[in-house]
Amino acid sequence: MHLIREARESLGAARALGPFFAVDVDPPQDVWDRWQSADVLVAHPEVLRSRAEATRSLLASASGLGAEAVDARTAASLTGLGLVARFVSPLLGGALLTGVLPVIAPSRWLIGPPRPGPVRLSTRPSGGRRCTAPGDVAAALEEHCIDPLVRPLVEAMGRTFRLSLTVLWGNVTSAVAGAARMCMQARPDLAQQAGATVDVLLRTGPLTGTGAWVQPDLSRPRWFLARRSCCLLYRLPGAAPCGDCVLLTPGVRRQQWAAELRD
């Protein structure tokens, strides 16, 4: 019971890091009845397709275009990236802030209707895992989130949309790195621990080889991801490659890093 209480407190603390870290805890029954659980999303291709099509419509609307102008596989890739970012961020943020990583079964992740911005989540934690050292945080995140929740989602996305697993696991790495970088920006005192945690994740388990985690200036705790795949965002009308994209030339990448380090 103590760990469940601490897991709730961890999720509550993570909200301070930004909207990608916000999760409603202990939702009312009507949310359980109306929202989709993560295990249902993974088990039913038609649910995934519906969610990807909603993303496609949102992307088209934001660009003032019809849905047919948005590449369907790009919409699917970004749907998966957005979901993974929302699952990973509150767990990583809570663990870095409180030393407790919430343990949440896939059936207890409730996913709100598609909308612009971060996906809305509700949950009821089933436990917690105490972890403070970067290697322990990385191991806990892999054991309680990446393996039971993210891996099945990646595999389902690959089957349903014929997306490359290289792209999909690259999206996971991008989500993890993005969460860590948001933690660093909101709480610079967590930067060293967050950076070291991602470094462990990119050297072990399913994220091995998906990207390089670079600290250009060793005197400053600022890291950047150079992933070895692309999320396909560049296929959207008017879009450019992301800052971590494999399509960027080394020169452009270094210029972007230097500009951020000057800020």
pLDDT string in tens for the chain (263-residue length)? 789 999 999 999 999 999 999 999 999 999 999 999 999 999 999 999 999 999 999 999 888 888 888 999 999 999 999 999 999 999 999 999 999 999 999 999 999 998 898 999 999 999 999 999 999 999 999 999 999 999 999 999 999 999 999 999 999 999 999 999 999 999 999 999 999 999 999 998 999 999 999 999 999 999 999 999 999 999 998 899 999 999 999 999 999 999 999 87
Q: What amino acid is encoded at 150 in this protein?
A: V
Q: Tell me: the pLDDT tens digits for 56-111?
A: 999 998 888 888 889 999 999 999 999 999 999 999 999 999 999 999 999 999 99
- Identify the pLDDT of residue 263: 77
- Identify the pLDDT of residue 11: 98
Q: Tell me: the pLDDT tens digits for 211-229?
A: 999 999 999 999 999 999 9
Question: Residue 226: beta bridge partners?
Answer: 212
State if pTM tops 0.75. yes
- Which 3-state string (H, E, C) describes the chain? CHHHHHHHHHHHHHHHHCHHHCCEECCCHHHHHHCEEHHHHHHCHHHHHHHHHHHHHHHHHHHCCCHHHCCHHHHHHHHHHHHHHHHHHHHHHHHHHHCEEEECCHHHEEECCCCCCCCCEEECCCEEEECCCHHHHHHHHHHHHHHHHHHHHHHHHHHHHCCCHHHHHHHHHHHHHHHHHHHHHHCHHHHHHHHHHHHHHHHCHHHCCCEEEECCCCCCCCCEEEECCCCCHHHCCCCCCCCCCCCCCHHHHHHHHHHHHHC
